[in-house]
Every structure is written in structure tokens, then in C-alpha cells.
Chains A and B, each alone.
Chain A
Amino acid sequence: MRLDMNVPVVAVTLFAAAVAQDLIPVTPHVPVKLVFLTAAALYFAMTKPLLAGLTALVWAGALTDALGGQVLTCTLTFLLLMFGAVRLAQRVFLEPTLLQGTLLLAVVAPMQILWTRFWMETGVFFSMDTLRVLAASVPAGLAAGFAGFAVCGLADRLSGNIKPVKEDNGILWAETNR
């Protein structure tokens, strides 16, 4: 039986993202966590079949909430909404490239913080701190998006899930310039 290489890719990248997100502490300069798990979930939402994307999303949300001490459906619900939005946007303009993924996370990361604060009723929803955290979450989202999409893309290429596009005559685009 041939193993679907999407399974180990999803498992390994999600686990690595969880470890990195959990262990990299917040700093005075970046007072928010880098949302690697969200980046990985959105990458899989954009590149994998529906069921694979949903499974990755479930685990990304569960890991975020489990390691963050939150209600287990908080981030999962947010990611489900993002899943729908991303899939719709893909029909119009969105592509799973490194640049678009990075920019996507810069938008999604502040939304996730707002969602979490609203859901968990931390009592500091309307405050200067919230504004500061939101401002810091944009560059943090850029960094997480870049790293997440780069690593997930690399894992996909190494595992053979993504193959170079060939022309009709079998010559790679990359080789046509030689």
C-alpha cells in the first residue's frame, strides 16, 4: 500500500510549528507569539485537498488551544472561518506563494488575537495594550507567514508532493534558459 506523503508532511510540519510557537517566547519588541500553526494550517488549506486541509486545520487549532490554555474550540473556530475565506479567495486571486502567504498571515495574525481576546473575555479588549499588541502582530504575522509557508513548501517539495511543472515537450521551465 502506497503511503500518501501528505500525511507525514502534515504531521511533521504541524508538530514542528507547535514546538516553535510554544518555545519561542514573547519579547519586549514582539509582545505576541509567532503564529506558525496558523501559517501551516492556512498553507495546507490552500494547497491540499479539502479533507486533508480540514484535518490539518483541526490539529492546528487543537494544538494552539491545548498548549495555550484555551477552550479547545476557540482557535479551531477561527481557523474554520479562515479556511472558508481562503478557499473563496483562492477562486479570485489568492495563490499559495511565499509572498502571498506572508502577506496573508500579516492580516490573519491580528484578527486571531482579536478573536482570542474576544472569545476568552480577558477583560482587556478595549485598551492601549490591545492596540500595541495588534500593531506588533503585523510584523510577527509577516515573520510567521514567511517561515511557515517556506518550511511547508520545502517539506512538500522534499517529499515529492509538489513536482516541477513540465512543458508539453518534457523540458522544465527552469531549464529552458540554459
Chain B
Amino acid sequence: MKQSKIWIWLLVLSVGALLFFGSGIRDWAREAVYPYANAGKWFDRTFGVRAKALFSRTRYAARNASLERDVARLQVAAADVETLEAEVTRLRGLLDFSARQSGRWVAAPILSRGGTTATWQSIRLGKGSNQGVAKGAPVIVADGVVGRVSDVSAHTCEVMLITDPNSRVACELDVPGESVGMVRGILFGGGARPAADPSLTLLYVVDPLRLRYLARDFEPPPRTRVVTSGLGVYPKGLTVGYLLDSKLDANGLSREATVMPAVDMASLETVFVQSAGGAHAP
């Protein structure tokens, strides 16, 4: 009889928690899983990488040499940037010009892809509100835009990829040398399908995204770079993808283009997420 009472209480508490603390349960679940996901990442970084290196020493030696060259080149570039930054600050001071709003980009490891159901195109990062990450913050890598933060807990955040069918990104075309002015549109996530080629260690093969509501009279050339317009949550000028082709939409009022994402979402390991405060670019 006593044991039955325990289960009655547990059931009532469980249903009550579900009804009254819905979003709290999401945060709690993510935070509960976080230590194990983080431990897995640590194990991979500490032992997995070394184990791989044992089996492919030559490839890693070549890659190491290449990375050392890159580091040296970037150090020179960083020194130049520091000089330019100081000059810009000095000139802005002379002009009484306020600096543009900029956040700090923090590197975040990917802990989980798709959560427990893989229904949505989402990833979970190992950075959260404790690191200054807020809902809506953009997530990028060197190649371009990855997505934006859709939910945050203390140590983790969920990121909706730009390939998700629910994603919308305000974009414009980067057409140098053309006197067409700004060509803007809205990029719709095309969804994605599982990789067909088993040799690829990819999570998804991405279907082309759709860039809608472009000006109907300008036919953009293929491979035109599509960048963020700065009208949404994303800063202006980030590469989103490359245009494949375009055609007039069904009603003939605007043009619709297909866009291949610049970022290979499946091979991501670490991304950069914008956090509050600071002004350091990645």
C-alpha cells in the first residue's frame, strides 16, 4: 500500500511538473545531459584525436605543417588588423563617430545533433547563458552562416540551422560591378535529407535553399554570393551561400532562386556563437 502511494505522488508530481514547468523541463533536461556530452567531447579531444593520429601519422604531419603556416600568416594579418583597428578608433574619435554594435564571438563545441528525435535541423552547443549567449544570437563558421540560437540554458544552447524548413534569413546578392543596386530577398530553409552516399560521414545532404522575393527584372548570374543583409538577427555581409539558378515565381511578380549553403552542416565540429559584451571578431 505504501509503495503504491509513492508512485501516486511521483505520478502527480511528474504530471504537475510537465503542466506547469514545461520550459523548465527543457532546460533541466539539457543541463542534465550536458556533463555527459561534454565528457564525451573531452574524451574525443584527449584520446580520440591521438588514436586517430597513431593510425595516420603522415597525413597529420602534413596537416600540422599546413596549420603552422596558416598560424604564422594569420599572426602577421592580426598584427596588421591591430594597427588598422587603432587607426580606425583614432579617426572615429576625431569624427565623434560611435562604433558599430559588435558582439564577442565565442567558440562552442557541438554536443548533439538533432536531439533525441532528429525531427528538426538543429544542433546543441556547449555554451549557454553563463557564457553570455542569448536567444536569437547568430552562429557562424569561417565559411559562412550556420544558424541562430533558438533556446538557451545555463551551459547549452539549441541552434536552428539555416537548412531547417522553419529558418528565414534576410539576404541580399553580392553582385560586384553591376549597377543594379541592392537585390534583397528572404532565404527559406529547404530542409535536408540523410546522406545518400554511405562513404560520406555526413549527417545530412542539404537540399538547396530557396531565396524568394528577389527583384523580377534582374537575373543574377549563377554562383553569385548570397550574403546577409543585416535586416534580421544576422550581422550584415556574412556569406550564406551561392546562387545556383533563378526563375520567376508562379505569379510572375518576383524572382525565386535556389541557393547552396556555404557551410557543410554535417562536418561541423566547432562553431562561433555571438555572445553579449566585448568586440572581438573570430
Contacts and interface: CB of A to CB of B under 8 A. Distances in A.
Most buried by B among A58, A69, A116: A69
A124 interface: yes
A26 B116 CA distance: 10
Interface in B179-206: 191, 193-198, 200-203
Interface residues of B, number: 48
B216 interface: no
Contacts, number: 134
A64 B117 contact: yes
B165 to A, nearest CB: 6
Contacts of B26: 66, 72
Given A26-B114, A29-B198, A68-B117, A58 B29 contact: no
A132 B117 CA distance: 16
Most buried by B among A6, A23, A52, A132: A23
Across the A-B interface, the 7 shortest Cβ-Cβ residue pairs: A31-B194, A68-B117, A51-B7, A66-B29, A28-B195, A68-B115, A67-B116
A133 interface: yes
B119 A67 contact: no
B4 A63 contact: no
Interface stretch (B33-41, B100-108, B219-227, B252-260): B33-41
Interface string A119-133: 010111000010011
Interface SS of chain B: helix, strand, loop or mixed?
mixed
A37 B14 contact: no
Nearest to A51: B7
Contacts of B196: 28
B165 A133 contact: no
Contacts of A63: 29, 116
B37 A23 contact: yes
Interface in B1-42: 2-4, 6-8, 10-11, 14-15, 18, 22, 25-26, 28-30, 32-33, 36-37, 40
B213 interface: no
A52 B22 contact: no
Contacts of A64: 116-117
A144 to B, nearest CB: 12
A31 B192 CA distance: 12
B276 to A, nearest CB: 23
A64 B158 CA distance: 15
A117 B119 contact: yes
B36 A23 contact: yes
A55 B112 contact: no
16 contacts: A6-B7, A7-B10, A26-B203, A28-B198, A32-B118, A49-B7, A58-B11, A59-B14, A62-B18, A63-B29, A67-B115, A68-B115, A70-B117, A75-B117, A122-B191, A123-B165
A133 B194 contact: yes
Range of interface residues on A (Cβ < 8 Å):
35 or more
B122 interface: yes
Interface SS of chain A: helix, strand, loop or mixed?
helix
B122 A51 contact: no
Contacts of B11: 51, 54-55, 58
B174 interface: no
A72 B18 contact: yes
A50 to B, nearest CB: 8
Contact of B194 (A7, A23, A28): A28
A21 interface: yes
Contacts of A54: 11
Nearest to B207: A129
A4 interface: yes
B208 to A, nearest CB: 15
B32 A15 contact: yes
Contacts of B194: 26, 28, 31, 129, 132-133, 136
A19 B112 CA distance: 10
Interface string A137-154: 000000000000000000
A22 B10 contact: no
Given A28-B201, A51-B4, A133-B194, 15 more contacts: A19-B33, A25-B203, A26-B194, A29-B198, A33-B118, A58-B15, A62-B18, A63-B116, A64-B116, A66-B28, A66-B29, A68-B115, A69-B120, A122-B165, A136-B194
